[in-house]
Amino acid sequence: MSRLIVRRLLVSLAVLWLVTLLVFVATLLLPGDPARAILGQQATPERIAALRAQLDIDAPVWERYLNWLGGVVTGDLGTSTATQGPVNDLLGDRIGASLVLLVAAAVLSTLVGLALGTWTAMRRGRAADHTVSGISLVIAALPEFVIGVALIVLLSTTVFPLLPSVTLAPPGEPVWSQPSQLVLPVLTLTLVVTPYITRMMRATMSEVLDSGYVEMARLKGIPEKTVLLRHALPHAIGPVAQVIALQLAWLAGGVVVVEFLFRYPGVGQALIDAVNSRDVEVVQAITLLIAAVYIVVNLLADIVGILTSPKLRAEVTR
């Protein structure tokens, strides 16, 4: 088990290094002159030359990459060209705000998806199963911005004006100080992710409930609740963990659209602002952060899938 975890960790580090290369090259390919984009069209050649020297734009590409990578390894994400302040300070509060959004959506979508998937698997072929499957299929086909706009129309403007449609917290105040402004963003992300977890959990749980060891447990007279929790659920969680990981990793990138839609002060909104202002250091930092979250979540999913599945544990320990 330890060797497997170390091997997966080394692979994840190699993938993360490749991501740093892709992120750096992608920012180099952005059109236009970053110095002129920051200073504007009326900037003098002297100011542009001074800013290019400050940003090391004229340095060799390999030297710029090594300097940036060295800063990332030591925790220094560079200096924002838009605010002239450290990127770490710029993203500190925004990372916290996005984490609140992601954790709330992840917990809700996982619990609801697992519960609905298990419930429908135990009612296969009934009206409840068909209803939940149909609704989840329709929601899964909708992009996140469509779901967000529908929720704004339904719960914020036209039908039931109960919740704020945008973030109202003033600068410097934590977003959780006004819980009502978190409802629509969290609900949007939850509705986007939950259908996939529900459908995968239903399929996996249906297969497990038809297995021989579950049937043997029932023949022995074990209560249905015990059969479900001790015999069926551990075998179903392993494959579903991979789907949950993919969906939670998607949240790290999908949050960009949702934060922009609701004007939520997180890393997604910061990424859009940085792209518009050609703030390359911030773009690199946020893109790398999202990729790191994706890799870490998938690594944890592999470990959880092995630990929760008796079949996978047996294969690993052979």
Asked which of 17, 46, 73 is the last residue of a domain, the reply is: 73
- Between 309 and 211, the more confident residue is 211
Q: Per the domain annotation, does 252 fall within a domain?
A: yes
What was the pLDDT predicted at 313?
A: 56
Domain-embedded: residue 78: no
- Rounded distance between C-alpha atoms, residue 194 and residue 102, angstroms: 13
* Residue 298 pLDDT > 80: no
> What is this structure's pTM?
0.78
- Could you read off the pLDDT of 104-146 as tens digits, one per residue? 998 999 899 988 988 888 888 888 888 988 998 899 888 888 9
Co-location of 236 and 151 in the same domain = yes
What integer pLDDT is reported at residue 305 of this predicted model? 66
**For position 239, which CATH number holds?**
1.10.3720.10
Do 63 and 100 fall within a single domain? no
Q: What is the mean pLDDT of the chain?
A: 80
| The pLDDT value given to residue 108 | 92
User: Model confidence over 67-111: pLDDT tens digits?
Assistant: 878 878 887 777 777 777 788 888 878 888 888 888 899 899 989
Tell me: do 64 and 146 sit in the same domain. Answer: no
For residues 214-219, give the mean pLDDT: 76
Task: Show the tokens assigned to 217.
Answer: 């447990």
pLDDT in tens, 240-270: 877 787 787 778 777 888 888 888 888 888 8
Residue 163 lies in a domain: yes
Cβ partners under 8 Å of residue 57, min gap 6:
34, 35
Claim to verify: residue 37 and residue 96 sit in the same structural domain: no
Structure confidence at residue 178 (pLDDT)? 78
Work out how many domains the chain is built from and give that number.
2
125 residue type, one letter: G
What would the two tokens of residue 164 be? 């704020």
Same domain, 24 and 97: no
Local confidence band at 58 (pLDDT 50, 70, 90 cut-offs): low
Q: Are residue 106 and residue 210 in the same domain, yes or no? A: yes
Are 79 and 85 contacting, i.e. CB atoms less than 8 angstroms apart? yes
pLDDT given at position 311 = 58
Q: How far apart are CA 19 and CA 286, in angstroms?
A: 12
Q: Is 255 inside a domain boundary? A: yes
pLDDT of residue 314: 57
User: What are 86's strand-pairing partners?
Assistant: 79
**Does 285 lie in the same domain as 231?**
yes
What's the chain's length in residues? Answer: 318
Q: Considering the chain, what percentage of its residues have pLDDT values greater than 90?
A: 4
Residue 179 phi/psi, 5-degree rounding, is: -60, -25
- Which of 140-149, 171-180, 306-315 reaches the highest mean pLDDT? 140-149
Q: Which residue has the higher pLDDT, 150 or 90?
A: 150
Q: How far apart are CA 261 and CA 147, in angstroms?
A: 11
Higher pLDDT, 40 or 199: 199
Per the domain annotation, does 79 fall within a domain? no
Residue 284 lies in domain: 90-317
Domain assignment of residue 309, yes or no:
yes
As a whole-number percent, the residues of the chain with pLDDT over 70 amount to 87
Burial 275-310 (b: 16+ CB within 10 A, else e): eebbbbbbbbbbbbbbbbbbbebbbebbebbbbbbe
Do 112 and 35 belong together in one domain?
A: no
Mean pLDDT of 296-311: 70
Q: Is the pLDDT of residue 55 over 70?
A: no
- Do 41 and 134 share a structural domain? no
pLDDT (tens digit per residue) in 13-43: 888 888 888 888 877 776 666 666 666 666 6
**Residue 118 maps to a domain:** yes
pLDDT-derived band at 187, boundaries 50, 70, 90: very high
pLDDT of residue 35: 67
Q: What is the pLDDT of residue 112?
A: 92
pLDDT of residue 36: 65
Q: Identify whether residues 16 and 49 lie together within a single domain.
A: yes
Domain boundary (41, 73, 105) is at 73
* 308, pLDDT greater than 70: no
Q: In terms of domains, do 148 and 275 share one?
A: yes
Pick from 300, 119, 145: nearest CA to 201:
119
Which residue, 13, 40, 73, sits at the end of a domain? 73
CA 163 to chain centre: 24
Q: Is residue 114 part of a domain?
A: yes
For residue 5, what are the contacts with CB-CB under 8 A and spacing of at least 6? Answer: 303
Same domain, 22 and 119: no
